[in-house]
Amino acid sequence: MQKTQKAGQATKMTKEMQQCLEACLTCHNMCEQAMTDCLQKGGGQAEMQVMRAIMDCSEMTRTCADMMMRRSPMMAEMCAMCARACDMCAEACMRMPEAPHLAECADSCRRCAEMCRAMAGAAA
32-74: pLDDT as tens digits: 999 888 877 776 666 788 899 999 999 999 999 999 999 999 9
Question: Domain for residue 8, yes or no?
Answer: no
> 41: exposed, middle or buried (C-beta count within 10 Å: 0-12, 13-18, 19+)?
exposed
Is position 3 within any domain? no
Owning domain of residue 69 = 15-35+42-123
Burial class (CB in 10 A: 0-12, 13-18, 19+), 24: buried
Q: Is the residue at 9 inside a domain?
A: no
Residue 5 lies in a domain: no
Instruction: Tell me how many domains the chain contains.
Output: 1
What pLDDT, in 10s, does the model give residues 3-28? 444 444 456 888 999 999 999 999 99
